[in-house]
Amino acid sequence: MFKLTLSRTLAASMLLATPIVYGQQSDVRGRLFETTTATNSAALAIGSGASAGIGGISIANSKFNGTAVSTTTAVNSAALAIGSGASARLGGIEMKGNSDVTGTLTDTSTITNSAALAIGSGADASIGGISVAGSKFNGTATSTTTAVNSAALAIGSDASARLGGIAIKNNSDVSGTLTATTTITNSAALAIGSGADANIGGIMMSNSKFNGTATSTTTAVNSAALAIGSSANAHIGGITVK
């Protein structure tokens, strides 16, 4: 068992904040603590497998067993990803690419005057929240997201844009306890594309398995979720199973 503690403070204009990322079949056990504060900053990725993130924790095609805690504060900042596998994130925790995760995940994201933008056929843009895509998760996941004057925009055939909440999709297998608390003011989630999906808070389960307890609390003021496309689906709060 090990304890890894990372802390970053970004105060200069247009700096890159790098999240904790595991990929290429890593096998990690222990405790991860990630703290990022970004002001007037940007993360940009361009390429077919592009991914851009400010803070947060990303687990791709890997195993993790333990405790992961992510705390992200972003002001006047942006994450932009352009490419067929594009993904842009401000805070949050994501599991994807046949990952196998067991343990306790906690994400706290506070985002102000900021944006996440993803453009590409597999585009995904998110602010805070927890996402499980094509992976296994067993344990406790807690997401707390506060966003003010911010936006998540995804453009592409598999577009998805989220502000907070928890998303389980793409044949994922999840068991345990899920809790999502989302407070949004003057903000928007916009998805454009044939598989468009835009969500503010809430818990979404799509083409996946879930066994356990899920609790969602969403407060939205002067905010909007908009999805445009043949499979368009927009939600503010609630729990969606499809």
- Break the chain into its structural domains and give their ranges: 24-241
Q: 22: closest CA among 60, 67, 55, 52? A: 60
223 exposed, middle or buried (CB, 10 Å; 0-12, 13-18, 19+)? Answer: buried
Please give the chain's pLDDT, 242 residues, in tens: 323 333 333 333 333 444 666 555 899 999 999 999 999 999 999 998 899 999 999 999 999 999 999 999 999 999 999 998 899 999 999 999 999 999 999 999 999 999 999 998 889 999 999 999 999 999 999 999 999 999 999 998 899 999 999 999 999 999 999 999 999 999 999 999 988 999 999 999 999 999 999 999 999 999 999 999 989 999 999 999 99
Rounded Cα distance between 109 and 116, Å, is 13
Structure confidence at residue 19 (pLDDT): 60
C-beta of residue 157 within 8 angstroms of C-beta of residue 120: no
Neighbours of 1 (CB within 10 A): 7
Name the phi and psi angles at 196, rounded to 5: -55, 140
Query: How many residues are recorded in the chain?
Result: 242
Cα–Cα distance between 84 and 176 in angstroms, integer? 32
Gap between the Cα atoms of 229 and 238, Å rounded: 21
User: What per-residue string of b and e applies to 146-174 under the rule 16 or more CB within 10 Å gives b?
Assistant: bbbebbbbbbbbbbbbbbbbbbbbbebbb
| Whole-number Å distance between alpha carbons of 177 and 137 | 10
Alpha carbon distance 81, 46 (integer Å): 6
Rounded Cα distance between 56 and 147, Å, is 15
